[in-house]
Structures are given as C-alpha cells and as structure tokens.
Amino acid sequence: MKILLYCKNTEAHKKALKIAVEQAQAFGATLHLVSCISEKDKMPLEVIEKAEQTLQDHVDQIFAPASIDCRKKILVTSFTSGEELVKYAESNGIDTIIMSVQKRSKLGKMFFGSTTQFVILEAPCKVITVT
C-alpha cells in the first residue's frame, strides 16, 4: 500500500501527520511525503531548501523512529498543487491521499481556489482530509 501525505505548514497538518503514521503502521504502507512549490513564483533557492528540510525533519523525527518506509518529493510545478498531486498519485500508484483542509469561506474559495477540493474530485484513490 502507498500513502501520499501532502505537506503544508499549517496546524491541521500536524493532525494529518499523526493520521499518516497510524495508517502507515496499520497497513504496512510506504509513505510518500510530498510538497508542492509553484514555479510561477520567483522563489529563491532558500524556499526549496526549507521545504526539503521540513520533509527531512518529518522523516527523522516522526517516520524513521516509527519504522515507516518513506519517500520524499518536492514538486516544482507550473500546474496547480491539486493538479500536480493528482498526477503524482496516478503515476505512482498511490492508494490513499492524506491532506489537511484549510477552512475558508465560499467567497475565499472562489477567489483562491481549493487544492483540497480539486484533489477530492479528481484523485484516482481515496482521500482523507483533516481539519
């Protein structure tokens, strides 16, 4: 079994980490830690390095001690994060996607879009959302 955990810097993400550990241990799954960075933004190298360090910290502090097989991936993309996550899930045979949900008003979702909404509607597998 393969689980994708979409890593974001939010409070809800901490809950998603906990659920990912529980699911990976229960099913003996390989965990794919994925972070998305838009190449449309002129991001300095420090942003990518920080994302890499965050993923490595998760592996070192949470997943390695729990003996969970982990893969790290930073997706630098011109697509939306939702599109990139769905493509990654399809091409890597992901069975479950776990992601935190950011609460927004309906108006906020209209202007900013919703990665979670896109993934829920388009993912080739089940999606677990955490608030």
The reported pLDDT for the residue numbered 95 is 97
Which residue type occupies 21? V
Contacts 24+ apart (CB under 8 A), 59-66: 59/33, 62/17, 62/21, 63/21, 63/24, 63/31, 63/33, 66/21, 66/24, 66/25
Domain residue extents for the chain: 2-130
Model pTM?
A: 0.86
CB-based burial label for 95 (10 Å; 0-12, 13-18, 19+): middle
Fold of the CATH domain 2-130:
Rossmann fold (3.40.50)
pLDDT one-digit tens code per residue, 58-90: 999 999 999 999 999 998 888 888 999 999 999
pLDDT one-digit tens code per residue, 7-62: 887 777 889 999 999 999 999 999 999 998 877 656 667 788 888 998 999 999 99
Is residue 111 scored above 60 in pLDDT? no
